[in-house]
Amino acid sequence: MSKKVIVVGGVAGGASAAARLRRLDEDAEIVLFERGKYISFANCGLPYYIGQIIKNRDDLLVQTPEKFKARFNIDVRVNSKVIKIDRKNKQVAVKDLSSQENYNEKYDKLILSPGAEPAKPPIKGIDSSRIFTLRTIPDADTINNFITEHKPKRAVVVGGGYIGLEMAENLRHRGLLVAIVEMLDQVMPTLDKEMASSLHEHLHEQSVALWLSDGVAGFRQSNSKLIVALKSGMELSCDMAVLAIGVKPEVRLAKQAGLEIGSTGGIKVDEHLRTSDSDIFAVGDAIEVEHFVLKKPVLIPLAGPANRQGRIVADNVAGRGTKYKGTQGTAILKVFDLTVAMTGATEKELQKAEMDYEKVYIHPANHVGYYPGAQQMHIKILFSRPDGRILGVQIVGKDGVDKRIDVFATAVRCGLTVFDLQDLELAYAPPYGSGKDPVNMAGFTAGNILDGTADIKHFEQLDNNNFLLDVRSPAEVARGNIKGALNIPVDQIRKKLNELPRDRTIDIYCAVGIRSYIASRILRQKDFDAKSLSGGYSSYFARTSEKLLEGKTGQQLRDEFCTGF
């Protein structure tokens, strides 16, 4: 006897589960309920449709209900909202949003993929028609139509995460002046702060104003303008605002049905993605997962994991017993001309988890310098002591970031160490990389620390009692330096050993850490206590450059939004 499977939610996880299940079981009766008008749409592409990078709206429709039905023989019911789960009688109550009629539908197995909804806190004035959220195609249509009809000139984006940054970029593409308001002291909270500093600078270059460490206290209308009142007392004047302060798992159905909710607020599932009811499974943004590195419950709303979970849950409904092995948070984001990517744990998370780790920074070019167009990347790699297992990686740059993060993500998933990175045989030709790829270089740099070849220091560990040595060229020093450092270019170190103290630790820095490492090797073999600053002046400056936000450019950008301008 064939089983009847109901899938609630028809986007990434739900659609993947339904399609996979049909490939495994041709005889199963599969019903997919979607409360919206569309299934399997590309919600990651919505900001780019608003920015007119994606010009054809239909390109966002990966599948239509009609095509899904024809190919997979699945009963797709759009505009149908599941309003209740009756676990005892194994049925769901459904409201047809077109006819407003309610009816019940029986199931043998139930798959929940309700997703997440944009966070919308109870702030005064938040229901203004000039305030938008972005999660669905109708949301995108509403924003697009507002811009077309009202021709706004200024927009405030509340939140500096994925959607906030994508919306800032695409609203700029539409010709609007944009300000980002973020409660944290950095944009992109899935990065460590020093890695986000490049984004802050680049956003200024793209005429995006930043209000960091500030939040929204309320909204109000003033004639044709929307006034955004900040907690600091500042008031911003704009024509529209986009709320991008994160999402929260949609667990209403699960709670109503008495399913267990995890400590993070997501639906609790086991390694087979089964809920506390053995006949009900759940996938996607609504569920709590185990972090692959930290081994703790987390919410990570990403499309890649949701699609894989859909496939795995279909396996388990079909009786295959496939396990989901956790989410490591691999992600990538375009921010104007920059690319930012990450995988695994951040330093903030490792500190909170009290894990023993070390870190290194490198700043290699995406390909060999003699081939035209080489561009610098900023890479931070976190690894465990003493075995060197890779715990997390963050990269900010332009070309070449995407392929490096995928190598690092694979290394994290496979439990590789920094020593394994040294042995990876990666494709090389001058237009694409280097004989020693940045991935290899990360392995060499980290391996040198663990095997004792290098003794490093990080920028936050600089000690005024130590002797500070700058081994860059005089021209580089003139462009910026750490106060109090003696400048001896690396190639002159051997001739000037008598100028260096033997009774003090010598902290050495250069531009990115290569020359300081060479200098430290020379000095250590001459019985000096020498340490190399990881990442060099580039990493030091990234950590200390937040004063740029208070500079002339930043203030000019913010002045555009001051009330009464």
Mean pLDDT score of the chain: 94
Task: Choose among 219, 67, 43: nearest CA to 116.
Answer: 43
Residue 487's pLDDT band, with cuts at 50, 70 and 90, is: very high
Residue 545 pLDDT exceeds 70: no
* For residues 244-268, average pLDDT: 96
Can you tell me the mean pLDDT for 326-344? 97
> Can you give the pLDDT at residue 43?
84
Peptide bond just before 372 cis, omega within 30 deg: no
Q: So what's the pLDDT on residue 438?
A: 97
Q: How confident is the model at residue 120 (pLDDT cuts 50, 70, 90)?
A: confident
Residue 12 has what pLDDT? 87
Which pLDDT band, with edges at 50, 70 and 90, does 125 fall under? very high
Q: Return the CA Rg of the chain.
A: 27
The pLDDT of residue 551 is above 70:
no
Residue 168 confidence (pLDDT) above 90 = yes
pTM score of the predicted model: 0.93
DSSP for residue 469? E
pLDDT at 564 over 80: no
Q: pLDDT-based confidence at 552, cuts 50/70/90?
A: low
Q: What's 535's DSSP letter? A: T
What integer is the mean pLDDT of 239-250? 94
Query: Which residue is it, tokens 């270019």?
Result: 489
Q: CA dist 57 to 5, 48, 52, 60, Å?
A: 31, 10, 10, 6
Helix (H, G, I), strand (E, B) or coil at 511: coil
- SS3 for 538? helix
What is the DSSP track for 265-301?
SSEE--TT-B-SSTTEEE-GGGEEEEBTTT-SEE---
DSSP string, 185-213: SSS-TTS-HHHHHHHHHHHHHTTEEEEES
Specify the pLDDT at position 323: 97
Provide the pLDDT confidence category of residue 224 given band limits of 50, 70 and 90: confident
Concerning whether 44 is annotated as a catalytic residue, the answer is yes
Q: Quote the pLDDT of residue 544.
A: 66
Asked if residue 550 has pLDDT above 70, the reply is: no
Residue type, 110: L
Q: List pLDDT tens digits, range 11-21.
A: 889 999 999 99
Lowest mean pLDDT among 63-67, 79-83, 449-453, 490-494: 63-67
Q: Is the pLDDT of residue 565 over 80?
A: no
pLDDT of residue 302: 92
pLDDT for 223 equals: 85
* pLDDT higher than threshold 80 for residue 542: no
**In the block, which residue shows the tokens 């667990």?**
251
- N-to-C CA span, the chain: 71
pLDDT tens-digit readout, 48-58 = 999 999 999 88
In what helix (H) or strand (E) does residue 215 lie, and over which residues does it extend? none
With CA atoms as reference, report the closest residue to 35 among 8, 75, 68: 8
Note the pLDDT of residue 464.
84
Instruction: Provide the percentage of residues in the chain whose pLDDT is more than 90.
Output: 88
Q: What is the pLDDT of residue 429?
A: 96
The answer to which of 88-97, 477-486, 555-564 has the lowest mean pLDDT is 555-564
Buried b (16+ CB within 10 A) or exposed e, 86-122: eeeebbbebbeeeeeeeeebebebbbbbbbbbbeeee
**Does the pLDDT value for residue 468 go beyond 60?**
yes
Residue 481: pLDDT above 70?
yes
Query: How far from 34 is each of 58, 67, 83, 140, CA to CA, in Å?
Result: 18, 15, 12, 18
pLDDT greater than 80 at residue 85? yes
The one-letter code for the residue type at 387 is: D
pLDDT exceeds cutoff 90 at 275: yes
Tokens of 408: 């690092």
* Measured CA angle at 80 (ends 75, 82), to 5 deg: 100
Under 8 Å between Cβ of 300 and 279? no
* 266-291 mean pLDDT: 97
Task: Please give the average per-residue pLDDT across 408-426, as a whole number.
Answer: 97
| Token reading at 140 | 């995108």
Instruction: Determine the Cα angle at 151 with ends 149 and 156, to 5°.
Output: 120
The answer to whether residue 277 scores a pLDDT higher than 80 is yes
User: Phi and psi dihedrals of 241, rounded to 5?
Assistant: -135, 145
- For residue 475, give both structure tokens: 């021209």
Give how far the C-alpha of residue 3 lies from the chain's centroid of Cα atoms, to the nearest Å. 39
pLDDT of residue 1: 53
What does the DSSP 8-state code read for residue 180?
A: E
Token pair, residue 95, equals 């409201």
Q: For residue 166, count CB atoms less than 10 angstroms from its CB and return exposed for 0-12, middle for 13-18, buried for 19 or more.
A: buried
* Ramachandran region, residue 403 (left: φ > 0; alpha: ψ -120 to 50; beta: rest): alpha
